[in-house]
Structure 1
Amino acid sequence: MTWTIRPRSKFGALSAICAGDGPSVLLIHGVGLRAEAWGGQLDALAQTCRVVAVDMPGHGHSARLKDDPCLADFTDAIVALLSGPTVVIGHSFAAMIALDIAKRHPALVQGVAALNGIFQRDSSAKQAVMARAAGLDGKTAADPSAPLDRWFGEVPSAARDACLAWLCDVDPAGYRDAYRVFAAGDGPSEQSLSGLQCPALFLTGRDEPNSTPEMSQRMADLTPLGRAVILDGAAHMLPMTHASQVNTLLTQFIKETQR
């Protein structure tokens, strides 16, 4: 039931799930998913916060961007949802978006959390992700089996089933657009991290092979108010697989940003 489809509000070309009242929190999901990927967090965070979980452009009920978008295009589209200081939380590719929002719009970001974010991939990881991006034609749905195996292994679960449904339903062009930007990117620059002045949380799983613990720790070390947290037994989809632990960490982080 956690990942049941929920009603949305419209924000121009974007759609989002909105809940709760209090400090402003924006949740941004990863490539191929939709706002319900934050189903494990929405109700918990909405107890004390005003939560907006957006459908990334080209996903869920949100319109695609222009052809061949870049990271700044995703950032510019999503930052339009912010009307005041907000804690911005992004997962996977959206960790790149969240950190870019924090860099380019510091007055609107009270804190930033990058979950399973990448940073300076090695050559083999770059080759693998670029090869996956090259195989996307934007017309036919990508085979979901490979990402599901990377995220969950072969163990059946409700979270795996939910991601399967979303990957099969996503607009192939929207998926391609986002994945190409994700593949071409290398995470935030060292300069942008050292220039962040808001609190920053870098969270990943101990068993994450792509957005590795080392990446999160290095980003935290470069960020003046940054810290890294590595969850034992977790991998790429920790917001879904380790929701309770993630909720505790995010709730505490949001409180810290309000001081």
Structure 2
Amino acid sequence: MTPTTLPLSEPYGPVTCQRAGQGAPVVLIHGVGMQSAAWAPQTAALSLTHQVIALDMPGHGGSAPLPAGAELPEYVAWLHAVLQALDLGPVSLAGHSMGALIAGGYAVCHPEAVARVALLNGVFRRSPEARAAVEARAAEIRAGSFDLDTPLIRWFGESAADQTARAQVAGWLSGVNLQGYAAAYTAFARGDSTYADGFGGIRCPLLALTGDGDPNSTPEMAQAMAEAAPMGHAVVIERHRHMVNLTAPAAVTAALRDWLNTEGATS
């Protein structure tokens, strides 16, 4: 992979990413607290046939944070500025968790720029109870309370693959920029319904994928996203949780390859 820095103009500042491979472009966006390296298994596999660009989200890795108080639409606007700077034409766009919210919102707002979209472990129309819980966590993070163990317990099981991935993720979370983390988590907490009504206008192939053990990005949410989009398809990976692209990399990569081979858009 080749590290790259894009010097975007204000209000965005520099954006860092990892690039690999040649061919049709695939853009990957990670979740809150992660970085572009979290896509390493998929980058290695997909770059054999595609040009893969894994972005560092604002306030993560080497990317500058967004202004204080930014909500999900500001992250979608950031992505639009990044893709305009990259000048790739229509892209295959995949996001994980918060990245899935950004990717889904982008597909709603800029359908002409998206050839297909994949939403991994995304959230969609949380229940009032789930929304209250995640907004409470966001408030704690903004107040400076950073609990490393709670998300790790929620995201990982006891298998060897889970524990190996957990060690990687713990390292990324431990080094995260707390301001960028708090800002992105707040937008994540408030963004599950922001673009939900627009999914019917996503005319390209849409993949909604999650693990059957993910309590927050549930199989029911994946199915609802797939049903809301005209070319939607849901995949649920059994015996895996939130970081399924790391704990079940072969299964996720296979689903993404099928998605990349899905052509056409509805009229």
Q: TM-score range by the shorter chain?
A: over 0.9
Measured against aligned partners, the alpha-carbon deviations of 1:146-195 in whole angstroms (never above 9, x if no partner) come to 11011014666221011111111010000000000011122454430111
Decide which moves more: 76-85 or 157-166.
Answer: 76-85
**How far does residue 206 in structure 1 lie from its aligned partner after superposition?**
1.1
Size of the alignment, in residue pairs? Answer: 253
The match for 2:150 among 142, 146, 167 is 146
Counterpart in the other structure of 1:78? 79
The percent identity for this pair of structures is 41
Contact 1:96-1:187 at 8 Å conserved across structures: no
Report deviation, 1:137. Answer: 3.0
Contact 1:35-1:53 within 8 A present in 2 as well: yes
What TM-score, normalized to structure 1?
A: 0.93
Match for residue 125 of structure 2 among 114, 120, 133: 120
Structure 2: how far apart are the matches of 1:220 and 1:62? 31
| Residue of structure 2 in register with 1:236 after alignment | 242
Map of 1:3 onto structure 2 = none
Q: CA deviation at 1:11?
A: 1.3
Gap runs ≥5 in structure 1: 1-5
After TM superposition, the structure 1 stretch with the greater mean CA deviation from structure 2, 44-53 or 216-225, is 216-225
CA distance in 1, matches of 2:192, 2:177: 25
Match for residue 10 of structure 1 among 2, 5, 20: 5
| Cα distance in 2 for residues equivalent to 1:18 and 1:124 | 40
Equivalent position of 2:102 in the other structure: 97
CA deviation profile, 1:17-72 (whole Å, cap 9, x unmatched): 00000111000000000000001111100000000000000001111111111112
Structure 2: segments with no counterpart, 5+ residues: 8-13
User: Aligned partner of 2:156: which letter?
Assistant: F
- Answer whether contact 1:99 1:188 (CA < 8 A) is retained: no
Partner of 1:133: 138
Residues 1:22 and 2:23 are matched in the alignment: yes
Distance 1:141 1:258, change over 3 A: farther
Provide, for residues 203-252 of structure 1, a one-character-per-residue CA deviation record: whole Å limited to 9, x for no partner: 01111111110111111111101111111111111010010011111012
- Structure 2: how far apart are the matches of 1:121 and 1:70? 17
Contact 1:129 1:183 in 2 (8 A): yes
Q: Cα offset for 1:77?
A: 1.4
Deviations 1:110-150 (A, max 9, x none): 00000011111112211210110010137x57121111011
